[in-house]
């Protein structure tokens, strides 16, 4: 019989990211990020004031407390601390996060803090971002500053959020600032360089003797062959696995690349006329960090079914919620398809909770030095509406419940999962979807900034307070 009870110290929380919640993107001494001009030029939506978390964090944390949450995921905006990416810190930015963490403590909500959530300072981003190795040094210096400055405030650190999304949206899909379509070698090279930056930060944290734990957050998707009997589909699934998961997981847990992974990396790079470079000493520091790394944050939304694909790359990002408009066919990789009967959201995200379990099994089998998982994001984007004063998001409750069931199954067989953060705490600004794609426990009226708990918030409160999932 499947257990329906979570461990005593399990963390239940909601997730946020600085740029998606804070607002005040160009004030209080904050430096620019590439998104500022990109969004202004597009004119589709503004990150201001998002959900005004910069001014409302205390009342949002009070809501967390009231709704039974004992954790929150937040990120520090690098350009609030170092407006130009390096140099002199901005005192207002530094103070803001001290105040935020103090409020977390006052409300009994444990902060899980990410150093980089898609928002490199413009000075870094425009200067090659992580394709420019000088920026690895800048990231390390920023990380060292934060470890020291917030040593008394923070016990749970993550270096990067979703290197896969950051690199694929920029260098494969071209939907993010300075976007470029299908440059697989730049995508993979940036992934490697960011993993070197991660490794440097992990070693700095451990060498500094700071209390607490450190890890990284990856956006993982299990890659199934569309037709499990088709060797070509199996190969496509392997390609997409390396592009999204494997390079990053090998780097995280092995500190180098398994020969099979390396062979596919080289194939992918060659298919976009590029090469993959590992600098001297990279593997040394990566291997050391792989042993020191404490935890992996898994952001899990969906899995993929891969078909072989021989044509030119053909991509269309569904950023509007018009179901069925997304396409992802990449030369040298394959085509992402949906198996009949598998449900999808209006943004064409595949709903497949079992994939989360398969991913955790895969990691525990392949990387015996993994120590613990947090599910740092999982959730459902919806066009939530207020009807008669209430927001009925039963669909989202079902989505979360199904994922929590697979997490309990994993815990039952001995996989170490210590927390779950729904994306998102409150409705937020979405990078390529603006404000119509809502994810929160708390509905946000973006005009008045009023928060209204959705049905899912009341449901989650019961789960977190009883630590039980009613089945």
Among 218, 329, 396, 437, the residue binding ligand BGP under the rule CB under 6 A is 437
Hey, how many other C-beta atoms are within 10 angstroms of the C-beta on 263? 13
- Rounded to a whole number of angstroms, the minimum distance from the CB of residue 243 to ligand BGP is 15
> Is the Cβ of residue 213 or residue 377 nearer to ligand BGP in the bound state?
377
25 binds ligand BGP (CB under 6 A): no
Closest CA to 420 of 62, 56, 19, 68: 68
CB of 277 to ligand BGP, least distance (A): 27
Decide: helix, strand or coil at residue 417. strand
CB of 20 to ligand BGP, least distance (A): 6
Among 430, 451, 463, 464, which residue interacts with ligand BGP (rule: CB under 6 A)? Answer: 430
Considering only CA atoms, which of 46, 150, 133, 51 is closest in space to residue 98?
Answer: 150
How far lies 146's CA from each of 25, 35, 96, 118, 201, in Å?
20, 23, 13, 17, 10
Q: Is 423 in the site for ligand BGP (CB under 6 A)?
A: yes
Quote the CA–CA distance of 343 and 402 in Å, as a whole number: 13
For residue 428, the Cα-to-chain-centroid distance in whole angstroms is 14
Stretch that binds ligand BGP, among 25-33, 246-254, 353-361, 430-438 (CB under 6 A): 430-438
Residue 209 dihedral angles phi and psi, to the nearest 5°: 70, 25
| Residue closer to ligand BGP, measured from CB, 161 or 167 | 161
Task: Select the span of 23-31, 50-58, 186-194, 425-433 touching ligand BGP (CB under 6 A).
Answer: 425-433
CA end-to-end distance (rounded Å), the chain: 11
Closest approach of ligand BGP to the CB of residue 432, in Å: 6
Q: Smallest distance from the beta carbon of 216 to ligand BGP, in angstroms?
A: 13
Q: How many residues bind ligand BGP (CB under 6 A)?
A: 15
Least CB distance to ligand BGP at residue 155 (A): 22
Q: Kindly tell me which of 154 and 219 has the beta carbon lying closer to ligand BGP.
A: 219
Strand partners, 421: 13
Distance CA 122, CA 331 (A): 31
On the question of a cis peptide bond just before residue 11, with omega within 30 degrees of 0, the verdict is no
Beta-carbon contacts of 320 under 8 Å, excluding residues fewer than 6 positions away, are 433, 436
Q: Closest Cα to residue 177, out of 315, 299, 36?
A: 36
**Contact criterion met (CB below 8 Å) for 30 and 80:** yes
Residue with tokens 């990150």: 47
Candidates 120-128, 129-137, 432-440, 460-468; binding stretch for ligand BGP (CB under 6 A): 432-440
Quick note: the x/- pattern for ligand BGP over 212-241, rule CB under 6 A, is: -------x----------------------
Instruction: Identify the residue among 13, 326, 381, 440 touching ligand BGP (CB under 6 A).
Output: 381
CB of 299 to ligand BGP, least distance (A): 6
Axis crossing angle, helix 184-207 with helix 163-171, rounded to the nearest 10 = 150
Which residues are CB-neighbours of 158 under 8 A, at least 6 positions away?
112, 113, 114, 115, 214, 215, 216, 217, 297, 376
Our answer to whether residue 235 is catalytic in this structure is no
How far, rounded to the nearest angstrom, does the alpha carbon of residue 470 sit from its chain's CA centroid?
28
Residue 214 Cβ vs ligand BGP, minimum distance, rounded to whole Å: 18
| Sites for ligand BGP among residues 158-187 (CB under 6 A) | 161-162, 165
Comparing every residue's Cβ against ligand BGP, the nearest one is 430
Among 86, 193, 313, 432, binds ligand BGP (CB under 6 A): 432
Find the binding residues for ligand BGP in span 283-312 (CB under 6 A).
299
| CA contacts within 13 A on the Cβ side of 460 | 36
Residue 50 binds ligand BGP, judged by CB under 6 A: no
Measured from the CB atom, the residue of 177 and 225 that comes closer to ligand BGP is 177
Which span (108-116, 180-188, 273-281, 429-437) binds ligand BGP, by CB under 6 A?
429-437
List the catalytic residue out of 140, 173, 186, 377: 377
At 168, which helix (H) or strand (E)? helix 163-171
The verdict on 431 binding ligand BGP (CB under 6 A) reads yes
Among 17, 109, 188, 268, binds ligand BGP (CB under 6 A): 17
Q: Could you say whether residue 377 binds ligand BGP (CB under 6 A)?
A: yes
Cβ atoms of 419 and 13 within 8 Å: the answer is yes
Question: What is the spatial distance between Cα 131 and Cα 197, in angstroms, rounded to a whole number?
Answer: 11
Residues classed as catalytic = 377
Contacting residues toward ligand BGP, per CB under 6 A: 17, 20, 161-162, 165, 219, 299, 377, 381, 423, 430-433, 437
């Amino acid at each position: 019989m499947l257990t329906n009870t979570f461990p005593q110290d399990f963390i239940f929380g909601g997730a946020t990211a600085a740029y998606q919640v804070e607002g005040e993107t160009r004030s209080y001494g904050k430096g620019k990020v590439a998104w500022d001009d990109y969004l202004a030029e597009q004119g589709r939506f503004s990150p201001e004031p998002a959900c005004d978390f910069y001014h409302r964090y205390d009342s949002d944390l009070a809501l967390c407390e009231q709704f039974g949450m004992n954790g929150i995921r937040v990120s520090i905006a690098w350009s609030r601390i170092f407006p130009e990416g390096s140099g002199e810190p901005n005192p207002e930015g530094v103070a803001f996060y001290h105040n935020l963490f103090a409020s977390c403590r006052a409300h009994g909500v444990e902060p899980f803090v990410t150093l980089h959530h898609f928002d490199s300072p413009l000075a870094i981003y425009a200067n090659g971002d992580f394709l420019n190795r000088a920026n690895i040094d800048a990231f390390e210096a920023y990380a060292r500053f934060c470890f020291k400055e917030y040593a008394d405030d923070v016990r749970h650190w993550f270096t990067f959020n979703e290197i896969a999304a950051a690199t694929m949206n920029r260098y494969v899909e071209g939907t993010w600032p300075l976007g470029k379509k299908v440059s697989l070698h730049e995508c993979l090279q940036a992934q490697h360089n960011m993993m070197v930056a991660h490794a440097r930060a992990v070693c700095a944290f451990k060498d500094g003797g700071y209390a607490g734990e450190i890890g990284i957050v990856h956006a993982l998707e299990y890659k199934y062959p569309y037709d499990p009997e088709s060797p070509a589909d199996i190969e496509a699934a392997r390609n997409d696995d390396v592009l999204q998961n494997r390079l990053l997981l090998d780097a995280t847990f092995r500190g180098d690349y398994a020969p099979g992974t390396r062979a596919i990396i080289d194939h992918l790079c060659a298919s976009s006329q590029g090469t993959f470079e590992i600098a001297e000493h990279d593997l040394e520091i990566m291997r050391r960090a792989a042993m020191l790394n404490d935890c992996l944050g898994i952001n899990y939304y969906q899995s993929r079914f891969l078909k072989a694909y021989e044509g030119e790359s053909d991509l269309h990002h569904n950023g509007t919620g018009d179901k069925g408009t997304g396409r992802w066919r990449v030369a040298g990789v394959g085509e992402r398809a949906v198996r009949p009967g598998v449900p999808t959201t209006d943004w064409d995200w595949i709903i497949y909770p079992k994939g989360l379990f398969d991913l955790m099994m895969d990691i525990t089998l392949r990387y015996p030095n993994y120590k613990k998982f947090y599910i740092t994001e999982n959730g459902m984007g919806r066009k939530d509406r207020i009807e008669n004063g209430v927001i009925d998001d039963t669909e989202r409750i079902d989505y979360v419940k199904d994922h929590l069931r697979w997490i309990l199954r994993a815990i039952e067989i001995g996989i170490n999962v210590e927390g779950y953060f729904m994306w998102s705490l409150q409705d937020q600004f979405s990078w390529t979807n603006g404000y119509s794609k809502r994810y929160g426990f708390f509905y946000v009226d973006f005009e008045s900034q009023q928060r209204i708990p959705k049905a899912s918030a009341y449901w989650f409160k019961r789960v977190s307070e009883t630590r039980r999932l009613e089945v």
